[in-house]
Amino acid sequence: MICADYPDAAFRRVLADLQSDESVAVYAGRAAGRASRWGRIPRTYLWFGRDLTIAAPLQDRMVEEADALTPRNRFRVHDFPKASHIGPLDPAPVAEILDGLAA
């Protein structure tokens, strides 16, 4: 589900990187955005069209609800229609976007 479009060798590399050193307790709290505290920092969303973990309609909904919460600071959505959950096999286009954010 996370990288269905990857060749086997690349999938195995992804699996090897998934073992987290973080405690499961890190994920125990509920994170929720609030308009009063969220919205000043520019936001970017990488939309992956072949994501089988977070389906395209749910990705759309997350962006729409966040944009409605802070309409003056809407997401800049970058579309990767052929990418699965983990992102495109070639990370260069994603890296370019992220590098542009740092500038």
Per-residue pLDDT reduced to its tens digit, 37-67: 777 788 999 999 999 999 999 999 999 999 9
Task: Name the token pair of 17.
Answer: 């990187």
**What are the tens digits of pLDDT across the range 77-93?**
999 999 999 899 999 99
- Domain definitions of the chain by residue range: 1-16+42-103
**Helix, coil or strand: residue 100:** helix
Residue 6 has pLDDT above 90, yes or no: no
The answer to whether 99 and 42 have CB atoms below 8 angstroms apart is no
- Band of the pLDDT at 27, cuts 50, 70, 90? low
Q: Supply the pTM of this predicted model.
A: 0.76
